[in-house]
Amino acid sequence: MSVALVERPSPVELVETRPVHARMLGGIPVADHLSRGELLIGQRTGEVGSVHSWELVTAVDGPGTRMTTFLAGCPLRCLYCHNPDTMTANRGVPVLADDLLARIRRYRGVFAATGGGITLSGGEVLQQPAYARRILRGAKELGVHTAIDTSGFLGRNADDDLLADVDLVLLDVKAGDEPTYHRVTGRRLQPTLDFGRRLDALGIETWIRFVLVPGLTDDPATIASIADYAASLGCVTRVEVLPFHQMGRGKWAELGLSYELAETAPPSAELVASTRAIFSSRGLTCF
């Protein structure tokens, strides 16, 4: 239940004034009826978020059937990003937290039957911490399992109250050394490592995700560093090695962005197997 934090009508209170033929995002109303001032207030309080899309998926983004919601905006510029259209916040649409939670409520039976729940992804979920906090708290009040898919680079944005409502973190570790991480993302690795250690201290279950890209992230030394790091965290219950693919290439072209990996082939089955073996050798459960 949202609580108005300002004297003037809040974005949530204006829901009933929404036009009958409002724009929809996969069945969720888009808050086009809000003024710029109302949007700014709503974003600050977490009542409104910039959402790119959402989907129901099984066997990815966490256990069971998941309602994965992709928030818009990300501080990283990963060379292999397959959702470059989520990199900037203005590529999303405004969605009220209450409207997203109403959609989550509809799938409680599915989640209960499959052991699933919701996953907030992106973009980068922690670029909109107030919105994420409100959605996660609302989902927990509904008895729904919660997960966030994050690079951890903005881990400082996740306060203890937000993390208290997170059951699972999918932590994307792009590389195990600073030079490779910077080449992949344009950013620093250390914030990700620090966030993972914080999750461990809080006892929050974590799955490590690593994208294997031939010629970019396939150096055994950087992989071994990730494996050693994952093995040092008691909260890590699973590691996922995700083979690079070209499925997002067309989006880069549509956006007029330069795609540096156009000639990069997916990793061979042998490379994937040897990479997983590095993680397994540390006693980690690897897929």
Query: Minimal CA–CA distance to 58: which of 135, 97, 113, 95?
Result: 113
User: What is the chain's pLDDT, residue by residue, as a tens digit (287 residues)?
Assistant: 333 333 233 333 333 344 444 799 999 999 999 999 999 999 999 999 999 999 999 988 999 999 999 999 999 999 999 999 999 999 999 999 999 999 999 999 999 999 999 999 999 999 999 999 999 999 999 999 999 999 999 999 999 999 999 999 999 999 999 999 999 999 999 999 999 999 999 999 999 999 999 999 999 999 999 999 999 999 999 999 999 999 889 999 999 999 999 999 999 999 999 999 999 999 999 99
Q: Which residue has the tokens 């150096």?
A: 219
**Bridge partners, residue 71, by sequence:** 51
pLDDT value of position 248: 86
Query: Minimal CA–CA distance to 52: which of 99, 96, 95?
Result: 95
Structural contact between residues 276 and 241, judged by C-beta atoms closer than 8 angstroms:
yes
Query: Minimal CA–CA distance to 264: which of 78, 79, 84, 77?
Result: 79
**CA 1/CA 58 separation, integer angstroms:** 29
Copy the structure tokens of residue 64. 């069971």
Enclosing H/E stretch for 146: strand 145-150
Structural contact between residues 139 and 146, judged by C-beta atoms closer than 8 angstroms:
yes
**β-strand pairing of 145-150 with 168-172:** parallel
pLDDT value of position 173: 98
Domains parsed from the chain with CATH numbers: 49-280 (3.20.20.70)
pLDDT value of position 145: 98
pLDDT value of position 5: 30
pLDDT value of position 59: 83
